[in-house]
Amino acid sequence: MRDEKDFRALAHKILSLSTAQQTEVLILGTESALTRFANNHIHQNVAETNVAVSVRAVLGKKIGVARTNRLDDTSLQRVVESAIAIASVQHEDPDFHSLPEPAPITPVNGFSENTASVTPEQRAAGVKVIVDRARERGLEAAGAFETSVYHIAVANSLGIFAYQPRTEAEFHAVIMADNGGSGWTQRVSMDAATFDFEAMAREAMEKAERSRNPIELAIGEYPVVLDTYAVGEMLEMLAFMGVGANAVEEQRSWLNACIGQKIAPDIVTIYDDATDPLGLPSAFDYEGVPKQWVIIIDHGVAKGPVYDSYTAYKEGKPNTGHALPAPNTMGPYPEHLMMAPGTASREDLFKGIERGIYVTRFHYTNIVHPVQTIFTGMTRDGTFLIEHGEITRPVKSFRFTQSILEVLASVEALSHERLQSRDYVNVVAPALRAARFNFTGTTQ
């Protein structure tokens, strides 16, 4: 299965097997390859090809979902029958209205042949740049380079058919120096040809060498400069804490207390945009509904959540095209989260800080209190003391427990440069300077 014709034929074949009142078919084709390296050597190269079919059957207000990755006729018949059987024993959902109806989809380009055609040798060549530069300076590099091609097709019995091929490339590396030094780099793009491995090597090596022999600093509240990696993970946590309509309706979202209120300076704007080529463009969600641009915080004012067909009908709101594959407990989710850039250079972010902390990235973050946007974790791979507007000395990694909204409320500057990074999901974000961040301990 390589193109739209194949996916359309399979989707319609599955729909024809269903006797449910409404049926939805989601087909996810994946071709992924991964090269891992550690101790300055490649130690693993793996590849996977898979096609997964998910069938959602609707009987009145009862819904059942079944999945398979076997595409023979018997297995396809069985997965349809399983979805119907599951639906038949469910309790009715009084809030369910219908699967979505067709709507015009504006095509976006989320596919790069550069990524789709990457070979193991090409991935190895990219890794070699990092490893060679690290070895030349007596450092050790570890990380991974992954390239993926996705084919996504959605069809339902009400007339929806949507198909899009997408590509994604992700590279990350940690470079280690002696005496506690480490540095991080990461790039995510639909086009692997945009990766500058020399620049990534410099970024990680400079931090690794500069972070040798870190000092221990007193815990407490400091002004901070958060690099794009740290900002990206912070925004990812904010999304998990309730940017979907399901969380708002259940009163477990931070948005419940502040929609329409000023919660941050004018320079803070956060939105979800699936069409921006800086991210990983997508034309529709997992129900085949067109993606809509949604603003979550507009010049410091909290606006509202994203919706799928279920929550949109229940709340009487427009469907913004943010459905995840059914069934899921999260409800709609922003998969293309972005923070608007500022006007500052990287150097400008440090100006005016007499004594503060520079954080490259966060590690092992977890949610403590979603309504209060409190998360916890630690800093990693490049934490430094800022004195008189300049980075001076490396410091031991901190532990922290902090409200994200409090950080956003104290933002003083944003970089004009943005970077796409990823932990669980992709986020495009600038670096920022904030007046307050609470560090509660140091790592050992």
> Which tens digits make up the pLDDT trace of 126-155?
999 999 999 999 999 999 999 999 999 999
Residues 293 and 423 in one domain: yes
For 278-308, what is each residue's pLDDT tens digit? 999 999 999 999 999 999 999 999 999 999 9
Closest Cα to residue 333, out of 258, 282, 278?
A: 282
| pLDDT exceeds cutoff 90 at 423 | no
The dihedral over CA atoms of 228, 231, 236, 240, expressed in degrees to the nearest 10, equals 180
Residues 129 and 155 in one domain: yes
In a domain, residue 292? The reply is yes
pLDDT at 324: 98
Residues 70 and 28 in one domain: yes
C-alpha 137: how far from chain center: 33
| pLDDT exceeds cutoff 80 at 1 | no
Could you give the maximum distance between any two Cα atoms of the chain, in Å? 71
For 327-349, what is each residue's pLDDT tens digit? 998 999 999 999 999 999 999 99
Stretch 49-62: mean pLDDT = 98
Domain-ending residue, one of 139, 167, 199: 199
Q: What residue spans of 309-418 are helical by DSSP H?
A: 309-315, 346-350, 404-409
Counted residue by residue, the chain has a size of 444
In a domain, residue 204? The reply is no
Q: Band of the pLDDT at 22, cuts 50, 70, 90?
A: very high
Please compute, for residue 200, the number of CA atoms within 13 A of its CA located in the half-sphere on the CB side: 28
Q: Which residues pair with 396 in a beta bridge?
A: none
pLDDT at 92: 97
In a domain, residue 301? The reply is yes
Residues 172 and 263 in one domain: no
pLDDT at 439: 98
| Structural domains in the chain (count) | 2
Q: Band of the pLDDT at 357, cuts 50, 70, 90?
A: very high
In a domain, residue 399? The reply is yes
In a domain, residue 333? The reply is yes
Residues 31 and 177 in one domain: yes
pLDDT at 341: 98
Q: Band of the pLDDT at 32, cuts 50, 70, 90?
A: very high
pLDDT at 420: 96
Lookup: tokens for 406: 């409090």
Residues 52 and 175 in one domain: yes
Residues 247 and 127 in one domain: no
Q: Band of the pLDDT at 434, cuts 50, 70, 90?
A: very high
Residues 263 and 366 in one domain: yes
pLDDT at 424: 86
Residues 194 and 223 in one domain: no
pLDDT at 260: 97
Q: How far apart are CA 244 and CA 335, in angstroms?
A: 11
In a domain, residue 193? The reply is yes
Stretch 67-90: mean pLDDT = 98
Q: How far apart are CA 228 and CA 430, in angstroms?
A: 5
Stretch 158-172: mean pLDDT = 98
C-alpha 212: how far from chain center: 31
In a domain, residue 207? The reply is no
Q: What is the DSSP code string of 287-334? A: TSPBP--EEEEETTEE---B--HHHHHHHT----S-PPSSS-SS-S--
Stretch 31-55: mean pLDDT = 98
Q: Domain containing 124 — which CATH number?
A: 3.30.2290.10
In a domain, residue 205? The reply is no
pLDDT at 417: 97
Stretch 106-120: mean pLDDT = 97
Stretch 205-220: mean pLDDT = 97
Residues 193 and 145 in one domain: yes
What residue has token string 């932990």? 423
DSSP designation for 18: -
Q: Band of the pLDDT at 444, cuts 50, 70, 90?
A: confident
Residues 73 and 124 in one domain: yes
Please give the span between the terminal C-alpha atoms of the chain, in angstroms, as a whole number: 51
Neighbours of 165 (CB within 10 A): 18
Lookup: tokens for 92: 């009715």
Domain encompassing residue 45:
4-199
What residue has token string 């709609």? 332
C-alpha 3: how far from chain center: 26
Stretch 191-199: mean pLDDT = 98
Residues 254 and 377 in one domain: yes
Mean pLDDT score across all residues of the chain: 97
- Cβ neighbors of 118 (< 8 A, separation 6 or more) are 33, 147, 169, 192
Q: How far apart are CA 23 and CA 161, in angstroms?
A: 12
| pLDDT exceeds cutoff 90 at 443 | no
Q: Which region among 2-6, 291-295, 310-314 has the lowest average model confidence (pLDDT)?
A: 2-6
Report percent pLDDT > 90 for the chain. Answer: 97
